[in-house]
Amino acid sequence: MVKVVIVGAAGRMGRMLIAGALQDKDLELAGGVVEPGFPEVGADLGNLGGQQPIGVFAVDNLDAAIGNADVVIEFTAPEASVQHVELAARHKKAAVIGTTGLDAAQMERIRAAARSVPVLVAPNMSVGVNVLERILPLIARTLGEGYDIEIVEAHHRMKKDAPSGTALKLAQVIAEALGKDLDDVGVYGRHGIAPRTEGEIGVHAVRAGGIVGDHRVIFANDGEEIEIVHRAFSRQTFVLGALRAAKYIVNQKPGLYSIQDVLEVA
Ligand code: NAD
């Protein structure tokens, strides 16, 4: 049994991760961490996950829960995530990070922590999106220059970061496949007099209602268009990926891993 602590246990993902961990015969839910000052501090984790009480209670700091764990699963917010990985590294525990919106400096700190423990960072835990990461470079390279590339993502109204970590990752793998730097070719939304220039990769974010996560990648020239769409119907797809990642990462050597390492997308 792999013992997991879920950080962000009162969040949308955290609650579903609790339910998922409780149903997984290979996992033991060893603890849950909620934000300090939140009403869920002290709540039974079973209840937070919409299940029967289990007699394990939410705490308000990872330090208090990590001793019982083999691996930390983290879905919170960027700065909190980095601090949690640094704490996991001090305790020599593996970590799975689902939080998106990490900037370059925060990724650098995570990379530093990953020198002493295995850490998996995945802005999208679904198999389908990771298949896209494999096939989009092939499409981009095969089409070559002359096709306009645009990525349109849509998420629920509560999502904080924009564009999504997934849209950025997809833009990055396409840019790399074309031998370009996303910092040079990425254009994030358009407003006013903003004509498209050659070679741009446009990235656009829609925020509405309860959309779980849609990503659409368009390759178009004057004569034709290829459109690749991924639509997550439920957060359950991310939960299953994260739990699988937790079981994988506990057996790895220190280092930074991606979900591609787990999903064995050929
Ligand atoms: P949410 O706002 O519902 O939940 C985040 C939770 O983290 C909140 O309950 C908040 O109180 C808690 N939190 C913040 N700081 C904390 C701290 N220091 N200690 C403990 N808890 C803390 O958001 P969500 O929809 O569950 O998403 C969380 C993150 O996961 C976001 O970055 C989101 O983009 C990302 N996400 C990733 C994937 C993926 O596949 N990787 C899928 C869905 C969401």
pLDDT in tens, 63-75: 999 998 999 999 9
Q: Residue 74 forms beta bridges with which residues?
A: 7, 97
CA–centroid distance, residue 175 to ligand 1 (Å): 28
User: Which tokens go with 205?
Assistant: 């974010």
Cβ distance 171 to 178 under 8 Å? no
CA–centroid distance, residue 235 to ligand 1 (Å): 12
pLDDT at 185: 98
Coil, strand or helix at 12: helix
Sequential DSSP letters for 50-90: TS---S-B-BS-GGGTGGG-SEEEE-S-HHHHHHHHHHHHH
Q: Just list the catalytic residues.
A: 155, 159
Angle at 125 between CA 121 and CA 129, to 5 degrees: 115
Pocket of ligand 1 (CB under 6 A): 7-8, 10-14, 33-35, 38, 75-77, 80, 98-101, 122-125, 238
**CB-based burial label for 236 (10 Å; 0-12, 13-18, 19+):** middle
pLDDT tens digits, one per residue of 76-133: 999 999 999 999 999 999 999 999 999 999 999 999 999 999 999 999 999 899 999 9
The whole-number average pLDDT for the span 224-241 is 96
Mutate to test the pocket of ligand 1, among 6, 63, 76, 263 (most ligand atoms within 8 A of CB): 76
Looking at 42-46, 127-131, 171-175, 254-258, which range is the least confident one?
A: 127-131
Closest ligand 1 atom to 76 CA: 7
CA–centroid distance, residue 74 to ligand 1 (Å): 8
Residue owning the nearest CA to atom 39 of ligand 1: 124
- Indicate the Cα dihedral angle 25, 126, 265, 84, nearest 10°: -70
pLDDT tens digits, one per residue of 39-48: 999 999 999 9
pLDDT at 265: 53
Cα dihedral sign for 74, 231, 107, 139? positive
Asked if the model's pLDDT at residue 27 lies above 80, the reply is yes
Average pLDDT over the chain, rounded to an integer: 96
* Structure confidence at residue 193 as a pLDDT band (50, 70, 90): very high
Eight-state DSSP code of residue 114: T
Asked if the model's pLDDT at residue 202 lies above 70, the reply is yes
Asked if the model's pLDDT at residue 257 lies above 60, the reply is yes
Mutate to test the pocket of ligand 1, among 7, 13, 169, 259 (most ligand atoms within 8 A of CB): 13
Residues above pLDDT 90, as percent of the chain: 96
The whole-number average pLDDT for the span 10-20 is 98
End-to-end Cα distance, the chain: 28
User: Which tokens go with 36?
Assistant: 């300090």
Residues 216, 67: Cα–Cα separation, whole Å: 42
The whole-number average pLDDT for the span 52-69 is 97
CA–centroid distance, residue 170 to ligand 1 (Å): 21
